[in-house]
Structure 1
């Protein structure tokens, strides 16, 4: 099933650039055990990093509820949060937590919500597979490359380590609307949105994969699932945070190192946020419960690291309380 899903992602890469992928019932057929009583539309947008797991959940949910249409858009965490905070979508995919300005916009629009972590991810530093000089990198070196002061000044590999080639570094990374950008800059540079600007930026991780995989002097970063999907054309770089309490030496991202926290500081949780108005609708309640029931299995299939079972159970209880309150509020109106 994994290969089928990854092929599906590649087929739909062009659609991602357009921003929306639509799942809908085909004809009037239903699968055995399907919930044909549910109907309606569920609108989701946000992080390209969280997209693969949400897309996988939506694909399988279609079989359970063939009369429910689920749209999954990709405009980056920041773009998705703006839509969510204006009440334009039901659920937002996020690779970081909601910031204060987004919370304020939501409050101004009377939007209440619940935050639900769904998986872990390891931001992966990558180079071209023919790169034979970068076999590890420290957090300090990554900061030297990516901090604002590096713009126009740190431009060659041998400025990072003298033994590395006297060749230009070509940088690829997340766009400013991406939660990945926010997380990377805070974890590496020490301040969210503090970054040089002279690099190839995109909210679509497929664009970054394509760039690094065709550029021998490239260095980039994106979510682990996109590296995992493209290991044949990328080289992951072990990262050394120089803190032995997290694990000694340079560490590669993997299911194990992200889960146990040794891949620091680039391990992070991924989230969905659900609008309370949406949570009063039965099709949304069923979808979110289906998501939490299947996130571990489907997430691992597409390259994410599942959370412990008890965490998913806690999130289900949290959502049940939230949706019950949303239903009560709706009935009073």
Structure 2
């Protein structure tokens, strides 16, 4: 009996090793390069997914750039990249350019995000603002120079403003939601595609204000205060349930259908929608429900 049991265990071990070997061979069989660019907001998720995917598929090279949503689409619609990270829906003009170049795409939602309006840690007055007050500050024809121009009881100190550059989906979404028209904004604010520059700017000036993705605020909440908008603070719960209005939004990747025909791209997108959910949480964004991930996964099967 002992001999029979030993043989059974040995066979099980051999079969297990064979399966592991086959699995290893399967992952090694994927090769090629996946080119990704686009939103600085979606970047941390895609970069984390790319790093984990490469651990299992060492033959695949993945480059992830940060040109902003619009900047990424400029490359995507002419076939320079396979995937565009996007913090907004594709525009009709971008679809038209892609079509003219024979490029078809699949929109895949990957997470939720909120845009945080932030002030310096020493700012103890601007705790809750209305959309109208934010528009007073940020709109193209704004006459606001001092905090006291917004509310008389606030300090008569100049507001130093920081925000993303014009190619950023965060910039476009904020200006549309707050100012009523995309890309309409006052000219005298400090713009950068690097959210860390914005964090440092606001953290270094008591009278500064800025805006960027909620994930960056959560990473730097020890340096900054977040402003409630219409009485609602941006949190995972308020973004996911839609009560943080109007500054919460879905996040996407846009995948070239032609690129999806390549096994390394298809497997990467599958990996993104299955194992990526935990990574979304890790980098400070808000994952979707399992049923929504399955719905997105069905688009590329």
TM-score by length of 1: 0.82
**Deviation of residue 91 (structure 1)?**
0.2
Counterpart in the other structure of 1:264: 245
**Secondary structure, aligned partner of 1:35:** helix
Aligned to 2:17: none
Output one character per residue of 1:193-212: Cα deviation in whole Å (capped at 9) or x when no partner.
11111100112211111111
Aligned with 1:106 (options 73, 98, 110)? 98
Equivalent position SS for 2:280: helix
1:37 aligns with 2:29: yes
Aligned ranges 1:35-184 → 2 under 5 Å: 35-150=27-142, 153-184=143-174
String of CA shifts for 1:229-279, please: whole Å, max 9, x gaps: 111111111110xxxxxxxxx111111111111111101000000001110
Deviation, structure 1 residue 294: 2.2
Distance in 2, Cα, partners of 1:39 & 1:79: 27
Structure-2 residue corresponding to 1:330 = none
Residue equivalent to 2:293: 312
User: Which residue number corresponds to residue 13 of structure 2?
Assistant: none
Report the secondary structure of 1:107's partner residue.
helix
Distance 2:97 2:201 in 1: 35
Aligned partners of 1:113, 1:130: CA distance in 2, in Å? 46
Query: What is the aligned counterpart of 2:265 among 259, 284, 306?
Result: 284
Deviation at 1:295, TM superposition (A): 2.8
Distance 2:273 2:249 in 1: 18
Segments of structure 1 that go 5 or more residues without pairing to the other structure are 1-29, 241-249, 321-333
Query: Aligned equivalents of 1:103 and 1:195: distance in 2?
Result: 25
Normalising by structure 2, we get a TM-score of 0.91
Task: Report how far residue 310 of structure 1 moved.
Answer: 0.5
Separation in 1, partners of 2:29, 2:201: 46
Shift of 1:108: 1.2
| Structure 2: distance between partners of 1:317 and 1:67 | 26
Q: Tell me, which stretches of 5 or more residues in structure 2 are unaligned?
A: 1-20
- The aligned counterpart of 2:220 is 230
Larger radius of gyration, structure 1 or 2? 2
| SS of structure 2 residue aligned to 1:148 | coil
Count, aligned residues: 279
SS at match of 1:252: coil
Tell whether the 8 Å contact from 1:119 to 1:295 is kept in structure 2 after alignment. no
Match of 1:208 in 2: 198
Partners in 1 of 2:69 and 2:217 — Cα distance?
19
Q: RMSD in angstroms over aligned alpha carbons?
A: 1.2
CA deviations on 1:179-201 (whole Å, 9 max, x unpaired) are 11111111111111111111001
1:143-182 deviation line (CA, Å, top 9, x unaligned): 11111111xx211100001110000000011111111111
Q: Distance in 1 between matches of 2:87 and 2:201?
A: 22
Report runs of 4+ in structure 1 exceeding 6 Å deviation.
none
Counterparts of 1:36 and 1:257 in 2: how far apart (Å)? 42
Secondary structure of the residue aligned to 1:277 is: helix
**SS in structure 1 of the partner of residue 275 of structure 2:** helix
Contact kept? 1:45, 1:75, Cα under 8 Å: yes
